Amino acid sequence: MSETKAMFQGVGVAIITPFRGGAVDTDAVGRLVEHLIGRGVRSIYPCGCTGEATSLTRDERTRVIRAALEASAGKAAVIPGTGTANTDETIELSREAIGLGADAVMVITPYSCKPTPEGQIAHYRAVADAVDRPLVLYNVPSRTGVLITADTVARLAEHPRIAAIKEASGSLDHASAIRARCDITVLSGDDSLFLPHLAVGARGIVSVAGHVAPAEMVALFEAFEAGRPAEAEAIHRRLHPVFRALFLETNPGPVKHALALLGLAPAEIRLPLVAIRPETAEAVAEALDRAGLRPAAAVRGAG
């Protein structure tokens, strides 16, 4: 396996951006990254959708990426989200992230403007031509309003630096179509589809649930890789209520609440997002408890 492909294999986590008193809490970034790496997470994705990237200033992005890099200390790949709706700005942010030491960059399809396939190809190729690190396509039509088709992915995969795709369309059929057309590394972008995605050829995940169940997500991947599908499915079933609860409202509200319950990061979120509803908070806590992810002492303290 090439070094580039190995970078993406296994469990990655699209980390939140912790806020405290309205400001980015870089100490909490560092603690979270160390916690995840200590439980087997192989790649850290700061400043993506889960990281509320569109609500961060340029300086805040830099501080978050630097904190993630310092905490990872080379023990995990750091792959920041650098995509925007503006190609020139995306190139600038990508170059800045790489200048800080990022191992690769993840670029979301331009949002709001809804580019055609030809526009997507021109955009991604322009970014890939401008950087000297691998680039991860990020296909998430629920946020961008446009799908990267399998044919478009296949054309983009011809570029030597376009190495992987975070496939978050929610369609297993779409992931299968990509695999049928090219050899790009497919990463699941949906926790609930991680196991099915592995079955059709994905090599890893960029996870949200990995915040609260990193060791369990790693165990699922390792069981599948070792040819123990029943064990992988048992972990999937155990975590499925968590997968659902973390998306009852717009991500990252629920996972920030979950992290606060576990004492791993503050729950504070930045406008235009707001704190989750009480019924969602209750459902998140219940899902963590059903999966056995909250220590008994924490559950007693909450009651």
Q: Which residues are the active-site residues?
A: 138, 166
Measured between alpha carbons, how far is 278 from 274 in angstroms, rounded to an integer? 12
Measured in whole angstroms, how far is the alpha carbon of residue 14 from the centre of its chain?
3
Helices (H), the chain: 3-8, 26-37, 58-72, 87-100, 117-130, 141-144, 150-156, 172-181, 194-199, 214-225, 229-245, 253-261, 278-290, 296-302
> Are β-strands 19-20 and 23-24 bridged in parallel, bridged antiparallel, or unpaired?
antiparallel
| Inter-residue contact 50 to 81 (CB < 8 Å) | no
Question: Which residues fall within 8 angstroms of residue 17, CB to CB, at 6 or more apart?
Answer: 24, 29, 46, 47, 51, 52, 53, 56, 60, 64
CA–CA distance, 225 with 241 (Å, rounded to integer) = 23
State which amino acid sits at residue 55.
S
Single out the residue of 61, 136, 138, 141 nearest to residue 96, CA to CA: 61
| 214, 41 contact by CB (below 8 A) | yes
DSSP state of 277: P
d(CA 260, CA 275): 12
Long-range contacts of 273-282 (CB under 8 A, 24+ apart): 273/52, 273/55, 276/248, 276/249, 277/249, 280/245, 280/248, 280/249, 280/253, 280/254, 281/257
